[in-house]
């Protein structure tokens, strides 16, 4: 008979396993998150990562308050290790975390426009990843002067004091900053499920904006707060629409880029300010990668030459490299141009809120008004208490001898105060005050001097009571304090503002080929760029009926072109952006191509080369202005320069001066003047009206100007002048030439 198969034992049949299973209780995941994760998340949000309305995180606040209680606001510096050790009474984290907080707040690290720790020693640099700070035993610190405004009246009940983590001492829940530090200090933090990223603004601009807001809550913020400011300088590419969105919602981003200069003598580019969001090592590493990958071939070497004078990155260029174009490449391909994301997430009454600038000012103003109100109330209570004591002293004044007799006639010390209360009808506090008066002060003169303060105290009390009732007076107090801060702590702006329409982005896919071209400009503004090969194969140039050649010269496809118009504007054009043309075509219409103003016409064009030459502007009223071409050079690649020359008289001609040359002028009454350009002094201002080269005479105007070599004049001595202005001589028929006759007729 086959054995019956025993049933397989379940694992829960084991008593030990059954007991373990019974100890595990099932619960929904939502309850687990609520009971375990949420307290942790709220602790990180409220007590660690997100700044509050005073602009500080708890770690910042605990450190600064410890330094304040150590007397480091006015005293000498002390070792950083001492400060770190004292801070651990408030901050239960390790000494390394506390010291890192101090480093970030220090003047040496340069992470804040308005640092709160006056440091001495090596605290590293925010713009360097590898320049680490020294240990806390080697460095010293104290509070910087601005902390006087951070701790203003903190001992006068302006903020709540709460227990520290072990209940052994008190610490402030907020610091009563007299200025909107939440906007002044850059701040970032990552909490659980949320983050905060606040850009810093200039202290003086923030104070001016707050004053304007207190006077008119609907004021234009951009009038006094044009853009953020950063301690590392650089340039902020300002886009009005983007910045308005950030100011309104507290979210968005804007671009920062480095500042640089080209040292022609050494053929190097010097980068001396970089964006706040990057480091010098990150830039160098990225450039090295680009060179290795062959994406950048214009650089021989890049070095970090940072020293005690500040940041300096040097880029050695290969021969013939255009520094402007290379920097455009580097801006696009490295963190020399970087975006700063904004997320103005701030704790208000324990609740995180993302706010725009105006809303932040509203919340800070409400909080600061409460601080001032509490301070005024504290002063009022102190003065009321003092007045109460003086009122009791006045009663003693009525009969000093009686007071002495009561004290002498009292057998027990504990009965002195009750007997004085009964003898003069005063309360216990007043009696205690009288009983503590020294024997030497029991004289009429002392008591009279003290009681004379009564009237003044009553006036001060009435004034403080009025201040408490009047919100306008409290606002006025805040405005006065902000003005004092502005005057006491002048803070020049470090980050320059460059408008986005002035910035030309480099097209990554475009490869500019360099080859010789010949340029043609017609009188009506039609432009042609023709290659040497096409020019050899072409026939006569084609123009519209009634149109003709205005100017023509040889150039290069990589060159720039300056186009002068009759609206005192100069347009900057890269020849590589213009398509090659043919003689049989009309060419590109420049007013449309350059998006000129309605009715604006082209006068002439020229190739500025490296902007080292001079340009001669000749006006209809007989004046000429000699300017360096560098006044039209712009690092920001603006395509349009307004007010490029004087508007006092119409511009007749623009001549390029690479060297001194003879110039021929032709007047409307048939005269000619020949002079050397060396007679004209260089001017530095584009708006200069120039100097007279043609003697003034009724109805006489300058009609044309050309280099002497390009004219038909044969008897040069007849028209040559040695000084200016001059009337010139009547033009002989043989010196006119058909070409010159056509110019005069025009």
Rounded average pLDDT over 144-161? 93
Is 274 strand, coil or helix?
A: coil
What backbone phi and psi angles, to 5 degrees, belong to 45? -70, -50
Rounded average pLDDT over 177-201? 90
What distance in Å separates the CA atoms of residue 548 and residue 526, rounded to the nearest whole number? 10
- The number of beta carbons lying within 10 Å of the beta carbon of residue 99 is 21
Nearest to 118, CA basis, from 92, 144, 140 = 144
Q: Which of 43-52, 599-608, 623-632 has the lowest mean pLDDT?
A: 43-52
Structure confidence by residue, pLDDT tens digits, 266-281: 999 999 999 999 999 9
Cα torsion for 368, 373, 375, 379, to the nearest 10°?
Answer: 160
Residues 6 or more apart whose Cβ sits within 8 Å of residue 480: none
User: Quick one: tokens of 725?
Assistant: 């202005």
**What pLDDT was estimated at residue 253?**
94
Strand partners, 682: 626
**Does the pLDDT of residue 743 top 60, yes or no?**
no
pLDDT exceeding 90 applies to what percent of the chain? 54
| In the chain, domain spans | 12-39, 50-168, 259-335, 363-488, 516-745
Rounded average pLDDT over 378-389? 90
**What pLDDT was estimated at residue 739?**
47
Rounded average pLDDT over 211-235? 95
**What pLDDT was estimated at residue 742?**
44
What distance in Å separates the CA atoms of residue 448 and residue 357, rounded to the nearest whole number? 55
Cα torsion for 110, 111, 112, 113, to the nearest 10°?
Answer: 50
**What pLDDT was estimated at residue 485?**
96
**What pLDDT was estimated at residue 411?**
82
Nearest to 118, CA basis, from 153, 177, 175, 76 = 76
Annotated catalytic residues are 138
What distance in Å separates the CA atoms of residue 322 and residue 263, rounded to the nearest whole number? 12
Confidence of residue 406 (pLDDT cuts 50, 70, 90): confident
**292/399: higher pLDDT:** 292
**Does the pLDDT of residue 620 top 60, yes or no?**
yes
**What pLDDT was estimated at residue 9?**
47
Nearest to 554, CA basis, from 613, 606, 589 = 606
Sheet bearing 268-273, strands edge to edge? 259-263, 268-273, 313-317, 299-304
User: Quick one: tokens of 258?
Assistant: 């480095």
**What pLDDT was estimated at residue 46?**
67
Nearest to 136, CA basis, from 193, 200, 88 = 88
Residues 6 or more apart whose Cβ sits within 8 Å of residue 196: 49, 50, 51, 187, 188, 189, 343, 344, 345, 346, 352
Asked if residue 571 lies in contact with residue 563, where contact means CB atoms within 8 angstroms, the answer is: yes
What distance in Å separates the CA atoms of residue 324 and residue 301, rounded to the nearest whole number? 17
**Does the pLDDT of residue 249 top 90, yes or no?**
yes
Nearest to 117, CA basis, from 154, 161, 150, 159 = 150
Structure confidence by residue, pLDDT tens digits, 129-146: 888 899 999 999 999 999
**193/290: higher pLDDT:** 290
Peptide bond before residue 725 is cis, with ω within 30 degrees of 0: yes
Structure confidence by residue, pLDDT tens digits, 640-660: 888 899 999 999 999 999 899
pTM over cut 0.85: no
**Does the pLDDT of residue 252 top 90, yes or no?**
yes
What distance in Å separates the CA atoms of residue 704 and residue 740, rounded to the nearest whole number? 9
What distance in Å separates the CA atoms of residue 744 and residue 666, rounded to the nearest whole number? 8
Is 549 strand, coil or helix?
A: strand
- The number of beta carbons lying within 10 Å of the beta carbon of residue 359 is 18
| Topology of the domain comprising 259-335 | Gyrase A; domain 2 (3.30.1360)
**What pLDDT was estimated at residue 487?**
95
Q: Which of 28-42, 175-189, 402-416, 502-516 has the lowest mean pLDDT?
A: 502-516
**What pLDDT was estimated at residue 225?**
95
Ramachandran category for residue 256: left, alpha or beta (phi over 0 → left; psi -120 to 50 → alpha): beta
Residues 6 or more apart whose Cβ sits within 8 Å of residue 416: 406, 407, 410, 435
CA distance between the termini of the chain: 133
Asked if residue 543 lies in contact with residue 549, where contact means CB atoms within 8 angstroms, the answer is: yes
**What pLDDT was estimated at residue 32?**
76
In order, the DSSP letters of 95-115 are HHHHHHHHHHTBTTTT--SS-
Residues 6 or more apart whose Cβ sits within 8 Å of residue 202: 113, 184, 229, 491, 493
| CATH code linked to domain 50-168 | 3.90.199.10
Structure confidence by residue, pLDDT tens digits, 530-545: 988 888 887 788 898 8
Architecture of the structural domain at 516-745:
6 Propeller (2.120)
Asked if residue 417 lies in contact with residue 451, where contact means CB atoms within 8 angstroms, the answer is: no
| CATH code linked to domain 363-488 | 1.10.268.10
- The number of beta carbons lying within 10 Å of the beta carbon of residue 544 is 11
For all residues of the chain together, what is the average pLDDT?
Answer: 87
Confidence of residue 207 (pLDDT cuts 50, 70, 90): very high
């Amino acid at each position: 008979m086959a054995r019956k198969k025993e049933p397989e034992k379940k694992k829960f049949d084991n008593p030990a396993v059954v007991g373990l299973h019974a100890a595990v209780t099932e619960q929904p995941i939502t309850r687990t998150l609520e009971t375990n994760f949420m307290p942790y998340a709220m602790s990180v949000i409220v007590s660690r990562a997100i700044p509050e309305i005073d602009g500080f995180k708890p770690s910042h606040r605990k450190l600064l308050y410890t330094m304040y209680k150590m007397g480091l606001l006015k005293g000498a510096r002390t070792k950083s290790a001492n400060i770190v050790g004292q801070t651990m009474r408030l901050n239960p984290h390790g000494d390394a975390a506390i010291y890192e907080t101090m480093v970030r707040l220090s003047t040496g690290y340069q992470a804040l426009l308005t640092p709160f720790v006056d440091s001495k020693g090596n605290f590293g640099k925010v713009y360097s990843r590898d320049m680490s700070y020294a240990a806390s035993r080697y460095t010293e610190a104290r509070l910087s002067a601005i902390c006087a405004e951070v701790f203003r009246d903190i001992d006068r009940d302006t903020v709540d004091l709460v227990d520290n983590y072990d209940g052994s001492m008190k610490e402030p829940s907020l610091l009563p900053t007299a200025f909107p530090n939440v906007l002044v200090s850059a701040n970032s933090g990552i909490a659980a499920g949320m983050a905060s990223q606040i850009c810093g603004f200039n202290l003086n601009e923030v104070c001016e904006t707050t004053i304007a807001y207190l006077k008119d809550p609907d004021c234009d913020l951009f009038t006094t707060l044009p853009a953020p400011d950063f301690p590392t300088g650089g340039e902020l590419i300002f886009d009005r629409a983007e910045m308005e969105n950030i100011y309104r919602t507290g979210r968005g981003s804007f671009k920062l880029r480095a500042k640089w200069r080209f040292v022609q003598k050494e053929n190097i580019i010097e980068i001396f300010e970089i964006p706040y969001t990057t480091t010098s090592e990150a830039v160098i590493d990225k450039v090295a990668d680009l060179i290795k990958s062959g994406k950048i071939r214009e650089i021989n070497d890049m070095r970090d030459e940072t020293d005690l004078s500040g940041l300096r990155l040097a880029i050695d260029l290969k021969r013939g490299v255009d520094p402007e174009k290379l920097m455009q490449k580097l801006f696009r391909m490295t963190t020399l141009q970087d975006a700063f994301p904004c997320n103005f997430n701030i704790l208000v009454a324990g609740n995180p809120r993302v706010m725009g600038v105006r809303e932040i000012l509203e919340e800070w103003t409400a909080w600061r008004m409460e601080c001032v109100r509490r301070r005024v109330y504290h002063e009022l209570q102190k003065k009321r208490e003092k007045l109460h004591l003086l009122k009791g002293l006045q009663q003693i004044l009525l009969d000093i001898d009686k007071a002495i007799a009561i004290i002498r006639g009292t057998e027990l010390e504990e009965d002195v105060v009750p007997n004085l209360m009964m003898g003069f009808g005063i309360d216990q506090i007043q009696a205690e005050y009288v009983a503590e008066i020294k024997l030497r002060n029991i004289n009429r003169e002392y008591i009279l001097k003290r009681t004379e303060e009564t009237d003044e105290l009553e006036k001060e009390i009435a004034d403080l009571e009025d201040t408490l009732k009047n919100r306008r007076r409290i606002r006025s107090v805040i405005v006065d304090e902000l003005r004092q801060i502005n005057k006491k702590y002048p803070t020049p702006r470090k980050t320059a503002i460059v408008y986005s329409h002035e910035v030309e982005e480099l097209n990554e896919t475009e490869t500019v080929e360099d080859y010789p071209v010949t340029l043609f400009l017609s009188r009506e503004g039609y432009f042609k760029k023709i290659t040497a090969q096409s020019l050899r194969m072409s026939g006569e140039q084609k123009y519209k009926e009634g149109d003709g050649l205005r100017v023509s010269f040889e150039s290069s496809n990589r060159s720039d072109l300056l186009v002068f118009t009759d609206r005192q504007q100069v347009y900057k054009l890269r020849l590589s952006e213009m398509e090659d043309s043919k003689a049989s075509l009309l060419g590109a219409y420049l007013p449309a191509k350059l998006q000129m103003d309605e009715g604006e016409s082209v006068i002439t064009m020229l190739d500025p080369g490296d902007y080292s030459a001079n340009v001669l502007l000749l006006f209809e009223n007989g004046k000429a202005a000699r300017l360096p071409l560098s006044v039209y050079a712009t690092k920001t690649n603006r395509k349009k320069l307004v007010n490029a020359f004087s508007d006092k008289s119409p511009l007749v001609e623009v001549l390029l001066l690479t060297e001194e040359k003879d110039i021929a002028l032709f007047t409307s009454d048939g005269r000619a003047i020949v002079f050397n350009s060396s007679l004209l002094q260089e001017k530095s201002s584009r708006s200069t009206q120039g100097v007279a080269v043609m003697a003034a005479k009724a109805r006489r105007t300058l009609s044309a100007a050309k280099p002497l070599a390009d004219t038909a004049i044969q008897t040069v001595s007849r028209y040559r002048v040695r000084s200016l202005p001059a009337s010139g001589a009547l033009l002989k028929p043989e010196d006119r030439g058909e070409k010159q006759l056509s110019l005069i007729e025009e």
